[in-house]
Structure 1
């Protein structure tokens, strides 16, 4: 290559590199802390971007809590929906994704504002709240578009925000662009009685065991998964242990011929 030739420059990564823009100003998110459930901006159903206030580490009332966390009080934190400019490379990624989705919209796909119901920028990270019906198409676009190149899915997990929160069950997907050193989080808000989400294994094979663990712990059914079976609990186990409704310590555990009772039935040392 001659000295006059130059390599094409990739899209800018912004001042914050892989983790987000430093010092990005966003009137709706930077320094804005809403307390309590926050509604997702969507067209026909309501959702939530945050949980409820927490009281006590184990929810124990009165006596029986030997952990020392019985007096814990944490408010529910809900970062507000972000507004443009997001800052750094965040605007660039959103614009490129919108343009890429518009290019194949004639094939029956939905535009960006229907695929992504809300964008949140908080603590230097960007989260897209995604309509599950368009998740696979959006993920494939994020992976294949030359200006996006989110080639790697580093994790799929779940969150149960508990009773009283609309769409309390969330699926959280972490994507990484090794080409441009960027990270993007996708979230899908689900109703507990309709915990279904499309599988991303066909787009990101690394999601295979992550989705199995999320099904095992939270009961989310990943439709299209090649083998959705338990991965941590025994095959005949009843229930999903990380749901808030799952009994805490309610399963008898034997240890050296002794039975460990649930936390609320243990002695309190005062």
Structure 2
């Protein structure tokens, strides 16, 4: 079954959840509400006619002041068996959470953690939702459009508390010769 037909099938089965189906540069995208993402993911993964057995990527997008809801979680799916792709764009409002799809695709584990770490989007049911790129004590979410790029507004000269520790470790490693 070709991706446009899969999108139409989803539209029929999950009529209340599908917002739009778009074709762009030979790629099919389905925009969804967040409420049934786990059921939709399970259907796309398990149904032999779809068999989306690979989650290639999952990422966040911040549409601050452009769209409402503000965020989207984008799932890029691929079927190794049928050799076709499908993109799911799931809308998430600020301060809302979305169901984790780790139970469907194990690769979602790290992708969801990165999305949480960069955008602050919470994935309900994730087995280990914690920072993956930023230090645990980091304040804020760097990929959000409202994230300060010049440092904290109340003290533009302030720096992350662990910065001095990282510099000291770098100096300490220089004595080993293998670190330049």
For normalisation by structure 2, the TM-score amounts to: 0.79
Residues 22-69 of structure 1 show CA distances to partners (whole Å, capped at 9, x for unaligned) of: xxxxxxxxxxxxxxxxxxxxxxxxxxxxxxxxxxxxxxxxxxxxxxxx
- Give, in whole Å, the separation in 1 of the partners of 2:73 and 2:108: 12
Residues 212-241 of structure 1 show CA distances to partners (whole Å, capped at 9, x for unaligned) of: 000000000000000100000111111001
Q: Kindly indicate whether residue 55 of structure 2 is the aligned counterpart of residue 153 of structure 1.
A: yes
Moved over 6 A (4+): none
Are 1:201 and 1:225, in contact at CA under 8 Å, matched by a contact in 2? yes
Q: Kindly indicate whether residue 134 of structure 2 is the aligned counterpart of residue 233 of structure 1.
A: yes
* 1:146–1:131 CA distance, 2 compared to 1 (3 A): same
Match of 1:242 among 132, 136, 143: 143
- Farther off after superposition, 124-133 or 204-213: 124-133
* 1:222–1:178 CA distance, 2 compared to 1 (3 A): same
Alignment of 1:192-211 (within 5 A): 192-194=94-96, 196-211=97-112
* 1:232–1:91 CA distance, 2 compared to 1 (3 A): closer
- Find the residue that maps to 1:137 and give its secondary structure: helix
Q: Kindly indicate whether residue 100 of structure 2 is the aligned counterpart of residue 222 of structure 1.
A: no
Are 2:10 and 2:18, in contact at CA under 8 Å, matched by a contact in 1? no
Q: Kindly indicate whether residue 12 of structure 2 is the aligned counterpart of residue 92 of structure 1.
A: no
Structure 1: where are the runs of 5+ without partners? 1-10, 12-88, 100-110, 258-270
Are 1:98 and 1:112, in contact at CA under 8 Å, matched by a contact in 2? yes
Other-structure match for 2:175:
none
Are 2:4 and 2:28, in contact at CA under 8 Å, matched by a contact in 1? no
Aligned-residue Cα RMSD (Å) equals 2.1
- Find the residue that maps to 1:193 and give its secondary structure: coil
Other-structure match for 1:102:
none
Structure 2: where are the runs of 5+ without partners? 152-157, 168-180
Bigger Cα Rg:
1
Other-structure match for 1:187:
89
